[in-house]
Structure 1
């Protein structure tokens, strides 16, 4: 994984040199992406004939978002019953080159059957929804799942809500049972409730939660993710791009010259207007940077100073389902891709000696003759080191005694730091003699300096 981490580190360094996610360089990049996209439309590089014929125009939610012919999802299921092959959706290639995502619009009332034809035909196991049914008083997506335990019948498809769970304040996880011609399958839906149209979420952590949960639920299933918002391009594109990069990282396939400019531009060749706004482009950089920081912190001690607090703990929603929820057999053990942003199981060792700012001066009257006592102070810095490394430390302390309470300072364990001078213990610190080492994989406080 070293090669992938080197590429991730290089990306972070280049991003920082360009001003970070808020820098003007990203504004220029996104302007170039839009210019390329406009040129493709002018030159008819990516045709949209199927979505422009009269019988299909009414199936497009927005007139300016029509799927490319080269990558559109073509439906064959139920064509013998008079249903056409058209749906406003495109395949987008994943990190391994497979058809990993179907980016599609939120269903309209008269395309609900087509939506479930898509899910069933391409064996979709996980649906990622990045919009609400209604936003700012406007209908953005027709509800295609039941709200209550009463099943929802959509043409030949019967959808039953098995469970609904709030992962956090923003994300709802639903477990659906879909029945078609006496066959049934389980489908999981993750809905991001508060992602504004043409905007970005408040916190990148929640988007990573959604992506990681989706991968856990997907397991070893070869089917694509079905990803949609309202138009199926802006918010949808951000989710596809984040998962794409995450898979590159997990499979150690990040190229040395990796850039999100190339990722977005390539995805726009497969689905129009992917990552629709500059704000979403900047947010994409923010999320990917956090993902890379987290991976580097977990695996590389020298990268501990890259960023603090970027390894969130995510609840595994799979633990909330019981084995009786679905009749389907679970996948083989060990097939689930685990989170890359989980912190390391063992805390990093902190066995160095540090200098701590001196807090206490000599008492009055301790100055040598001829000098005013107010002008004499103890040295500004005093060294501290792990108690377990202090010469003459007791064997039980080296092995790690249990931490002491503030009232009992006789035994502080291996996590304690003590004031030292030439290897001998002193009492020069003006605060508690023993200092707990910082918890978690990060450097000591700023007033501590490595000696």
Structure 2
């Protein structure tokens, strides 16, 4: 277990040294991935001859996303009925060395039968779908599942919807009963509804929930592959496969000491073309893996107990949180705790005891008169607001959350205690903190008067 966590910690520290999620190192890594991937086909390391045959070209949703011959899925079911062995899909090896994933495109109208041949032949229990049927007015995937009370007949397969659940705001879980030659099986489909094409989700949380649920539905039976698809079956599909791959490494405590997300993406791309399609998706993958590693370390290491909850939005650099000069000057723990982690015992920066308040010289017209002290000396323009903790008899508040601008959770910012008392001759009848506009008499009338809270 310690080796597993050491590898996770090393990954996080290296990511910090590279500049975090916004660092230029990640951009350079992804450019290198694109160059190497292009070279594989040019050098003959990977070929796409079968998918480029005239009889198979029409089965590819996109002409530039054709499965590699070396890892393509070969269909044998129903070949005697005259159906070919081709489908735009590739096997991807999992953390255990088995063919854990089938990465494929969203079915076309004329490849629906091929899709269900794949599901049945390879005993797929769970389908992960990372797209909608239509996105930005363009068809991205043909509906291959049944709707409520509307069984779907596709060739020799009869598909019935038995249950549909909104697992999360962005995730739909469907349970399908598939019948083929008098045999029935249940297949679960998890569809992520708000993942833009060539883009990324707003944060990793729902993606992690999705793969967790997929593994729960997969159960502990025979380790059949997960079927993963989006529209082209490369960008979003690749991200999902790698997230689950790393999750399996964590669960089995098999993270290698030299774990590299760069090398892992390269390895997956050797099996499915264009897996993890954009630099934005590559950074999101780093973000998601970092969150998984942080969570693992947080539960086992005291230095990670106070992990900041700052993972969204994605492009706030979660590895470079702003800290005060006093915190930046604090010594680094021997284990190398990252800047985004609160170290117990670090000095806190107290708020100032007093603040200046500017006062108007005279009350606005129409305000009720306020008794003033008879003095020829003019009231000061500035006065001070004192902290509650400095007032006699006040109870000491919990200062652990005393960051500038923060309001205690049990106190409304607009409540009567939202501001401190004004001292040293402040004008309470003027336009200050504790004043508000009274309700107007009519929709066109100006405010009737300034009234005190």
* Normalised TM-score (structure 2): 0.71
- The 1-side partners of 2:143 and 2:77 are apart by 22
The superposition leaves residues 382-419 of structure 1 with CA deviations (integer Å, 9 ceiling, x where unpaired) of 9xxxxxxxxxxxxxxxxxxxxxxxxxxxxxxxxxxxxx
3-state SS in 2 of match to 1:88: strand
3-state SS in 2 of match to 1:87: strand
3-state SS in 1 of match to 2:168: coil
Cα pair 2:265 2:275 within 8 Å, conserved:
yes
**Equivalent residue number for residue 139 of structure 2:** 139
Cα pair 2:152 2:159 within 8 Å, conserved:
yes
Cα pair 2:203 2:311 within 8 Å, conserved:
no
- Distance 1:252-1:353 versus aligned 2 partners, 3 A rule: closer
Cα pair 2:147 2:160 within 8 Å, conserved:
no
**Equivalent residue number for residue 270 of structure 1:** 271
- Distance 1:156-1:430 versus aligned 2 partners, 3 A rule: farther
Cα pair 1:293 1:310 within 8 Å, conserved:
no
**Equivalent residue number for residue 297 of structure 2:** 296
**Equivalent residue number for residue 107 of structure 1:** 107
Alignment of 1:407-418 (within 5 A): none
Alignment of 1:163-312 (within 5 A): 163-221=163-221, 222-308=223-309
Cα pair 2:104 2:233 within 8 Å, conserved:
yes
Bigger mean CA offset, 142-151 vs 279-288: 142-151
The number of residue pairs the alignment matches comes to 340
* C-alpha displacement of 1:219: 1.1
Alignment of 1:328-347 (within 5 A): none
* C-alpha displacement of 1:356: 9.2
Cα pair 1:204 1:286 within 8 Å, conserved:
yes
- Distance 1:429-1:195 versus aligned 2 partners, 3 A rule: farther
**Equivalent residue number for residue 30 of structure 2:** 30
- Distance 1:355-1:129 versus aligned 2 partners, 3 A rule: closer
**Equivalent residue number for residue 5 of structure 1:** 5
Cα pair 1:132 1:140 within 8 Å, conserved:
yes
Q: Please tell me whether Structure 1 or Structure 2 has the larger radius of gyration of its CA atoms.
A: 2
**Equivalent residue number for residue 375 of structure 1:** none
- The 2-side partners of 1:37 and 1:190 are apart by 30
Alignment of 1:33-112 (within 5 A): 33-112=33-112
Cα pair 2:129 2:230 within 8 Å, conserved:
yes
- The 2-side partners of 1:189 and 1:226 are apart by 9
**Equivalent residue number for residue 398 of structure 1:** none
* C-alpha displacement of 1:296: 1.0
- The 2-side partners of 1:184 and 1:435 are apart by 61
* Normalised TM-score (structure 1): 0.71
When the two chains are superposed, the root-mean-square deviation of aligned CA atoms in Å is: 2.6
- Distance 1:3-1:80 versus aligned 2 partners, 3 A rule: same
* C-alpha displacement of 1:43: 1.1
- Distance 1:355-1:431 versus aligned 2 partners, 3 A rule: farther
**Equivalent residue number for residue 410 of structure 1:** none
* C-alpha displacement of 1:308: 3.0
* C-alpha displacement of 1:355: 8.0
- The 1-side partners of 2:227 and 2:166 are apart by 20
Alignment partner of 1:432 out of 383, 395, 403: 395
**Equivalent residue number for residue 336 of structure 1:** none
3-state SS in 2 of match to 1:200: coil
